[in-house]
Amino acid sequence: MATEAFEDIVEDFEFLDDWEDRYAHVIDLGRAMDPLEDALKVPATKVEGCASQVWLMPEIEAGTFRFRGDSDALIVRGIIAVLSALYNGVAVSDVPKIDAKAELGRLSLEEHLSAQRSNGLKAMIQRINKLAVEAA
């Protein structure tokens, strides 16, 4: 059920053998994202449960789910970019059907994150699902 953008990341990860290279790639994905405007970095868009500051802004149009996000930590910005690739462009009703744990498992991402970052990742996924359910 993964998007083409997410499949591209999976392919990139298959090409990168070393986890340090994968980590650097995730950071590069985050750097390539447009920053979220400061006016959108408000309590309503903040994700609780993350060690870093994280904001997710939904943009639902014609039944299609999209979100933009930002963080004050480079690796977390990269994780947001990965989640954007996984979820953006999916029908709102399909967002909760995505098995994020399984899809992200294809990247071996969570096993290389600290416990705090893993908890933050789960909090972001929960927030994304909540936003989609509220929009549906």
Catalytic residues: 50
DSSP string, 109-135: -GGGS-HHHHHHHHHHHHHHHHHHHHH
Q: Which residue has the tokens 């994150």?
A: 113
Rounded to whole angstroms, how far apart are CA atoms 89 and 5?
Answer: 10
Q: Do 116 and 51 contact (CB within 8 A), yes or no?
A: yes
Q: Is 127 exposed, middle or buried (0-12, 13-18, 19+ CB in 10 A)?
A: buried
